[in-house]
Structure 1
Amino acid sequence: MGKLWLGNVSDIADGQAKGFDPNHSGSDTFFIVRQGNELFAYVDICPHYNDTSLPWKRHHYLDSASAHIVCAAHGALFEIDNGDCVQGPCKGQKLSKIPLEVSSQQEIWISLTTIKEFNL
């Protein structure tokens, strides 16, 4: 099973998010949010329509307080740690969480199987 290196934990500032385009398609297909030493990764699709990207601008996945993931198109708010929609038209739905691997050297990896499975 192969893996793709995404960078180091320090490449994502605490309380910020970063989008990724592993297939170099021209748009990010998933993103990672960092809270302290924890990373949370999700498919970059709002469950309201299942085809709408979340940010209004690249890497801008969080609200102004960095407390929630926000869908710029619908105004939906999602919990960072579990992807649950807590406000907006998709309340009760959730973002698709993606597994990551963080090495002892703080390198972030995603498996090629995960990329294929989630069609990233």
Structure 2
Amino acid sequence: MDRSIPLCHLSELPDGSVRGFDLRGSGRDTVFVVRRGALLKAYANACPHHGTPLPWRKNAYLNAAGDRIVCAAHGALFEIDTGVCTLGPCLGDALTPVPLTLQDDGELCLAAMPFEETSP
């Protein structure tokens, strides 16, 4: 049984962009996907410092230079390709990766629900 969760078509995630997805219908993004060329990375939308959501507004996950993921709560910076914190109070910790699949038809999917369905 295929438990993958469709997110969007790859064409809806332009190179250099980030998009959040609300998997619970709670009004808050649960996961986000970053695209850098062929690199596609997905992470849970929770800072390892206190579990707070990362963006200050919808889909605003990157710093001004666009080369790091940033936590709006305290300015921690994370590498896009590894999720490791390189600056901030959670230095050395990492974002929680979420497994992705890219289907032959270009559909981007989560490999499976990455965490338990709980209330936000």
TM-score (norm 2): 0.90
TM superposition shift of 1:119: 3.0
Task: Give the letter aligned to residue 81 of structure 1.
Answer: D
| Distance in 2 between residues matched to 1:102 and 1:81, nearest whole Å | 17
Structure-to-structure mapping, 1:1-120, within 5 angstroms: 1=1, 2-50=3-51, 52-111=52-111, 114-115=112-113, 117-119=114-116
| Distance in 2 between residues matched to 1:29 and 1:119, nearest whole Å | 11
| Distance in 2 between residues matched to 1:3 and 1:40, nearest whole Å | 16
**Structure 2: stretches of 5+ with no match in the other structure:** none
Give the 3-state SS of the residue equivalent to 2:34 in structure 1: strand
Give the 3-state SS of the residue equivalent to 1:97 in structure 2: coil
Give the 3-state SS of the residue equivalent to 1:10 in structure 2: helix
Task: Give the letter aligned to residue 8 of structure 1.
Answer: H
TM superposition shift of 1:13: 1.8
- Richer in helix (by share): 1
| Distance in 2 between residues matched to 1:57 and 1:83, nearest whole Å | 20
**Structure 1: stretches of 5+ with no match in the other structure:** none
Q: Structure 1, residues 2-49: CA drift from partner, whole Å, max 9, x if none?
A: 222111112112111000012211110110000002210000000011
Give the 3-state SS of the residue equivalent to 1:54 in structure 2: coil
| Distance in 1 between residues matched to 2:8 and 2:41, nearest whole Å | 15
Matched residue count:
116
